[in-house]
Amino acid sequence: MNWLDRLGLARRPARVGPVHHGHADRLSEIHAAAFARPWSANEFEAFLSDRSVQIDGLYDGRDPQPLGFAVSRHAADEAEILSVALARSVRGRGHSRLLLAYHLQALAHAGIARVHLEVEEGNVPALALYRRLGFVQSGRRPGYYARPDGTRASAISMTRIMSDPAP
pLDDT digits (tens, 9 = 90+) for 62-121: 789 999 999 999 999 999 999 999 999 888 888 999 999 999 999 999 999 999 999 999
pLDDT digits (tens, 9 = 90+) for 11-39: 567 899 999 999 999 999 999 999 888 99
d(CA 55, CA 75): 15
Helix (H) or strand (E) holding 126: helix 124-132
Inform me whether the pLDDT recorded for 167 exceeds 90. Answer: no
Which of 111, 98, 11 shows the shortest CA–CA distance to 57? Answer: 98
Which of 145, 84, 154, 72 shows the shortest CA–CA distance to 114? Answer: 72
d(CA 133, CA 166): 5
Which of 101, 99, 135, 134 shows the shortest CA–CA distance to 116? Answer: 135
Determine whether domain 12-161 maps to CATH 3.40.630.30. yes
Q: Which carries the bigger pLDDT value, residue 20 or residue 147?
A: 20
User: Secondary structure of the chain: what % helix, strand, coil (to 5)?
Assistant: 30, 35, 35
d(CA 98, CA 53): 19
pTM for the full predicted model: 0.87
